[in-house]
Amino acid sequence: MTQTLSILLSVHIIIGIIGTIASYATLLWLFKRKIPIRLLKISSITAFAAYIIAWITGGYYYVVYYGSNVKPIIKDGPNPWAHSIIMETKEHIFLFLPLLAFVILLVVWLKGDNLQENRSLRNALALVILITLMISVSMALGGIVISGSAR
Amino acid sequence: MDLHTFLITIHLIGVALGVGGATFGGILYLKALKDSKIDPMEGEWLSVIFTTLRVGLVIVVLSGFGFFIEYRMTGQEEHLLDPRLWAKLTIILILVSNALLIQMRKMPMWLGEGLSITSWYGALALGIMRDADYSYWTFLIFYAVVVFVMIGILSIIKRLYLGKWII
Amino acid sequence: MKDKKNKIINSFAISAVIAIVFITFAVIFGELYKPFKNWLADIFNHHWIGKGIISIAIFYIFGFLCYFKISDHEEILIYMLKIVFWSALAGVFAILSFYLYEYFLVIH
């Protein structure tokens, strides 16, 4: 692996985790007694930006290196399902994240002032953040399994 | 200082903040319950402690993934499928889910406290037990047992300090 | 101003659902009908890049187009957010189930 690819993979991992933390913070702050709208705006835009960067860096690594260098190792190793199930699922479900994060961003930035009084809106937004969080956590865990199987 | 030493240092700072925050959060919460209400000053102190705990958690998670990157880049991929690591990851997931449910007021405090304390000390113990060679499920079963033991111990402490059973 | 905000969110919520449905369809159809996957690879250099670009294009194009027709009611907004949640959940299960099926029942 070249140094550029190592850096891109490292950035993908760390930025992805930052996105996960930002989504978690958004959900957590949504349920505070007094919703901190400013913090919600910061966390929602951080999550969106992080998923975009993780997408670009991970995507480059995947297209340029993974397919020809890592995938054969995994498929010939003791855990071929790490590619056939985990990686195949991960690379496609990841595409949901920027879409979901953008919808969350719109609601927080455009309707943030309504979240305190409007419980139904808050709960509906929480559902979208929850599925975003669950997908990003499973992306991280899937990545650990895939990397662990590349030996 | 090499990368590994740097990551360990950062990780331990996060663990110290988290374990310390969970411990002192529990102690202060108990003290605040003495007069059956949490007054504004006590609320502020608890807020500071829980913020410190969350900062610790963020540091632990980020440095933890730093270790994953190190393993991947240095040919130590086998560590990434270590049952001890996955038990630790599971405990961290339980910890963050617990924090979320407490925030949403969907988690009773007697259970949330027990889970929080056990999870932090459990993650600490798993980090120390380098030679522990058990399966993932053995670690989790032991964790579950300790959660209930901890709930029992906390109830006894509350009984002795507050004069009433809280569970 | 309040009406515009609801319209923007509603339109992008719908476009998110459409994009998620497309991604799910493209994944499963691409595996079952290889010429489609090959077509994506030919046009976009890699099938995964193709799915990503098309889904983003769908998201933003429908996001802008739906704005002109979509309701500005807050009840619709709340309902649409729930639809976004359920469609994402369904998409996750569909894709995961498909690859589990492929691995355990088709290949093995």
Determine what percent of chain B falls in helix, strand and coil, rounding each to the nearest 5: 85, 0, 15
Tell me if there are at least 3 CB pairs under 8 Å linking chains B and C: no
pLDDT band for C2, please (50, 70, 90 cuts).
low
DSSP states of A43-81 as a string?
Answer: HHHHHHHHHHHHHHHHHHHIIIIIIIIIHHHHHHSS-TH
Give B-chain residues touching A17 at CB under 8 angstroms.
61-62, 65
Q: CB-CB: which of A18, A141, A148 is closest to B77?
A: A148
pLDDT for B162 equals 82
Q: Kindly report, residue by residue over B4-38, the tens digit of the pLDDT.
A: 999 999 999 999 999 999 999 999 988 888 887 88
Sorted by where each begins, the domain ranges of chain C are 2-107
d(CA C70, CA B34): 56
pLDDT band for A151, please (50, 70, 90 cuts).
confident
Give me chain C's average pLDDT, please.
93
Give C-chain residues touching A118 at CB under 8 angstroms.
74
ipTM reported for the complex, 2 dp: 0.93
> For residues A99 and A52, is the Cβ–Cβ distance under 8 A?
no
Q: What is the pTM of this model?
A: 0.94
Assess B39–A contact: CB distance below 8 Å, yes or no. Answer: no
Instruction: Report the interhelical angle of B83-103 vs A3-30 (nearest 10°).
Output: 30
**Spacing of C-alpha C23 from chain mean position:** 5
Nearest chain C Cα distance for residue A39, angstroms: 20
Q: CB-CB: which of B62, B73, B89 is closest to A6?
A: B73
Nearest chain B Cα distance for residue A33, angstroms: 9
Pick among A144, A146, A149 to test the B interface (most B CBs inside 10 A): A144
Q: CB-CB: which of A31, A137, A147 is closest to B80?
A: A147
Q: Which two tokens stand for residue C73?
A: 């009611």
Assess B80–A contact: CB distance below 8 Å, yes or no. Answer: yes
Give C-chain residues touching A111 at CB under 8 angstroms.
5-6, 9, 77
Q: Which two tokens stand for residue B148?
A: 């209930």
pLDDT of C3 higher than 90 = no
Q: Which two tokens stand for residue C12?
A: 């992008």
pLDDT for B163 equals 79
pLDDT of B108 higher than 80 = yes
Residue of A nearest to C41 (CA): A63
Instruction: Report the interhelical angle of C34-44 vs C47-67 (nearest 10°).
Output: 80
Q: Angle A115-A116-A120 (CA atoms, 0-180°, nearest 5)? A: 55
- Domain count of the fold of chain A: 1
d(CA B60, CA B56): 6
Other C-beta atoms closer than 10 Å to the C-beta of C19 total 28
Q: Kindly report, residue by residue over A7-46, the tens digit of the pLDDT.
A: 999 999 999 999 999 999 999 999 999 999 999 999 999 9
d(CA C29, CA C35): 10
Per the structure, the complete domain to which residue A42 belongs is given by 3-148
Q: Kindly report, residue by residue over A9-19, the tens digit of the pLDDT.
A: 999 999 999 99
Q: Kindly report, residue by residue over A46-92, the tens digit of the pLDDT.
A: 999 999 999 999 999 999 999 999 999 999 999 999 999 999 999 99
Give B-chain residues touching A6 at CB under 8 angstroms.
73
